[in-house]
Structure 1
């Protein structure tokens, strides 16, 4: 989990750097396609069976939620909204997972867990407050919420279906969804000729594809299969903290004072969610 948080936390500064040389949807599509091809090569190397006949429905749903909604909607949200609002909407995901996992996965939703999720969300809001200025776009808000919903249902889908081959389960949606994202970029007027094919862009693209997406999503889905979805999602509240630090180290961005208070609330929230439940505690929805 620590490795995953570090990769995702550094992913935003790397993505922001890479988008200096490419239109956003085309960049997102290329990165996703390359990641899918890398994972497909690993699937062939490991000898894992595709079993498309039994998994095509789950693969289709994963393409819609994990790629098109999550990646595509978040790219639009970042364009249409101040960065702080976009972050806050995206990190409503752990709260959505915590609520829906109770009904769909029968994970107990305790008062302690709800409190921890709210602490974590408040911490992200405080860290992101610098980006809260500016006019709000209704389309941007909708895209931000769709992105969080896509990530939520994509996570719950993997937890519920427990696919045999993680490589194939990620690779096929990434390739299919990446092609669609690339085409969406063309449809809204983005041009491949606008890409600056220099060493910094290629390095950012490959790092984002192989490490930022490929390796991190394999880790994420392995964790989803073995850890409570609500508990796991709560730990992602640390990603914005690492992103702010990464932006300061690699992009020269200033560390806002809000990081200290917001980071403390995030840590407190994660502790609350992960703290072992006492035998006498009672669930808010359902019994122990």
Structure 2
């Protein structure tokens, strides 16, 4: 099913910048919450809380969640992919650093673009989009690439797991775009993923022997609430609404903005150093996004 729009308008661009900022701040929230909640258990709690919140929101808006619409199989698949992505990400971070992990995680837009060639023929990739995405990824490498230099030890295990997580991230978006899920509400699409991950992640945490919640300070609780309300509920509902309305490949190019926003948030909220590389990366990512999303003459309005 072709998207309603063929290119991103100002409203979509504004929302994507807002969401990428929220997802960047999430990196800080996860760091704070990790001081008191195990990673996979934290992801499970986030899914449980967000499931309840999005379900209540959908009921208040009278969204038809239980109508037979042929989305059950695709919804469960999307939920399993969603759960696998976060499980692999959090497990991988036990072996490798967050900065190395970012590089491998943000290969996801390229997998999305490659999958779109076969699964989303109505969203053709132009050479400018490939070039823009490559430039934006170059900005991520400027920011974190030096962490790939030097002895890696066992970091390759985490790198590999996060690289696979990136494939699952792309596969989740492709599942939404290429199946009946693209015709249902953003709330229902998200609830499939949240509910399945809420069931899968807590038992996985127990199987991994995580201590669970071991130091629930006010800061840890605040970080978890932010993830539930702002990230997994509000921003994800908005993201899946955008995926229904706009080309996924154009939206994906904005994801490169998230790690840069995360570093900026770390500087503002945690006092982490902001080096010239941060601003160089922001410039490269911004230029890459502009090139990838610049409308062709026939799409100009």
The normalised TM-score by structure 1 is 0.91
- 1:110-168 deviation per Cα after TM superposition (whole angstroms, max 9, x unaligned): 22111111111111111113533543534312211221111101111222231412212
Contact 1:116 1:273 survives alignment (8 Å) = yes
Give the C-alpha shift of residue 255 in structure 1.
1.2
1:56 and 2:56 matched: no
Give 3-state SS (helix, strand or coil) of 1:237's partner: helix
1:273 corresponding residue in structure 2: 292
Is 2:202 the counterpart of 1:182?
yes
Q: Displacement, 1:191?
A: 2.2
**Residue among 227, 236, 257 paired with 2:255:** 236
Find 2:276's aligned residue among 257, 274, 279. 257
Offset, 1:247: 0.3
Report the Cα distance in structure 2 between the residues aligned to 1:208 and 1:231, rounded to whole angstroms.
25
**Counterpart Cα distance in 2 of 1:130 and 1:39:** 40
**Matched-pair contact (CA < 8 Å) for 2:96–2:157:** no
Partner of 1:283: none
Shift of 1:176: 2.4
Rounded Cα–Cα distance in structure 1 between residues aligned with 2:293 and 2:111: 17
In 1: Cα distance, 2:154 partner to 2:277 partner: 22
Asked if the contact 1:70–1:148 (Cα under 8 Å) also holds between the matched residues in 2, the reply is: yes
TM-score computed with the length of structure 2 as normaliser:
0.87
Give, in whole Å, the separation in 2 of the partners of 1:240 and 1:156.
Answer: 22
| Contact residue 83 and residue 128 of structure 1 kept, 8 A | no
Unaligned runs of 5+ in 1: 280-288
Query: How big is each residue's C-alpha offset from its partner over 1:51-80, in whole Å with a ceiling of 9 and x where there is no partner?
Result: 3642210111111112x2221111112221
Residue of 37, 56, 59 corresponding to 1:41: 56
* Aligned match of 1:23: 38
Supply the distance in 1 between the matched residues of 2:282 and 2:234 (Cα, whole angstroms): 26
Who is 1:115 aligned against?
Answer: 131
- Given that residues 84 and 125 in structure 1 are in contact (C-alpha distance below 8 angstroms), is that contact kept between their aligned partners in structure 2? no
Q: Secondary structure at the match of 1:81?
A: coil
CA distance in 2, matches of 1:84, 1:136: 15
1:86 alignment partner, SS class:
helix
Pick the aligned partner of 1:158 from 173, 176, 182.
176
Q: Distance in 1 between matches of 2:52 and 2:207?
A: 24
Distance 1:235 1:119, change over 3 A: same
Q: Report deviation, 1:277.
A: 2.1
Give SS of 1:79's match.
Answer: coil
Aligned to 2:225: 206
Equivalent residue in structure 2 for 1:65, among 44, 68, 81? 81
Equivalent residue pairs, number = 277
Q: 1:170 aligned to 2:185?
A: no
The corresponding residue for 2:142 is 126
